[in-house]
């Protein structure tokens, strides 16, 4: 891929996380929900944040993963990424700091990333998955048009335990309108 791409919405700027973001990343990764529902290490150390920011630059250069920091007027509000980009597909994942929740930021950020994924990146499919019980993430995926594709039994591995996971996908040709899910 090469150089990081900056995306902008009405209220947000999405840009590659940098060294100046390390303390904010470390802080929001202490949140119990971030630790429960994402793949961040637990406990999450400041050194984990340093390593993450360094890896993000490598991932952008290789094009294997594209990670953006979600920025509002107050600073870094979270991160969003396209993971495992290959064969015109990717997986999307995100995390939001507790103080930024409830403002519609993640829905706005996901829409911007999907526009990029299906536009300049020319992907055909983006997949979302989450541990059963992560209703906040599921609500965002539903709002932006992901179609529920099923329950994956014991598909999510967190801290030595396997959990059931939800799976949804969206195609470049799908309408990005809210979807009803059976969960």
User: Across the strands, what pairs with 107?
Assistant: none
List, run by run, the mean pLDDT of 10-residue segments along the chain (183 residues): 90 97 97 93 95 96 96 97 97 97 98 98 98 96 98 91 96 96 93
Query: What pLDDT is stored for residue 87 in this prediction?
Result: 97
At residue 110, the pLDDT reads 98
Any idea which fold 7-171 has? Aminopeptidase (3.40.630)
In the chain, count H helices and then E strands.
5, 8
pLDDT given at position 158: 83
pLDDT of residue 2: 73
Structural domain spans, the chain: 7-171
**This prediction's pTM:** 0.95
pLDDT number for residue 103: 97
pLDDT of residue 159: 82
The pair of three-digit structure tokens given for residue 20, joined into one six-digit string: 């100046």
pLDDT at 157: 87
Nearest to 144 by CA among 120, 174, 165, 101: 174
- Residue 86: per-residue pLDDT: 96
Query: Going by DSSP bridges, is the β-strand pair 75-86/89-96 parallel, antiparallel, or unpaired?
Result: antiparallel
């Amino acid at each position: 891929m090469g150089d990081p791409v900056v995306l902008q919405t009405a209220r947000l700027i999405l840009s590659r996380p940098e060294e100046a973001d390390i303390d904010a990343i470390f802080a929001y990764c202490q949140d119990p929900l971030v630790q429960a529902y994402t793949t961040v290490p637990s406990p999450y150390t400041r050194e984990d944040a340093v390593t993450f920011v360094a890896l993000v630059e490598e991932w952008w250069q290789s094009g294997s993963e594209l990670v953006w920091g979600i920025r509002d007027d107050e600073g870094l509000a979270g991160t969003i990424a396209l993971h495992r980009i290959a064969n015109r597909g990717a997986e999307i994942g995100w995390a939001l700091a507790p103080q930024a929740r409830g403002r519609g930021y993640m829905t706005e950020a996901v829409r911007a990333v999907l526009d990029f994924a299906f536009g300049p990146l020319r992907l055909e499919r983006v997949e979302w998955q989450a541990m059963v019980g992560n209703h906040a993430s599921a609500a965002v995926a539903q709002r932006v048009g992901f179609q529920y594709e099923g329950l994956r039994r014991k598909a999510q591995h967190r801290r030595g335990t396997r959990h059931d996971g939800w799976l949804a996908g969206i195609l470049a040709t799908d309408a990005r309108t809210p979807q009803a899910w059976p969960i």
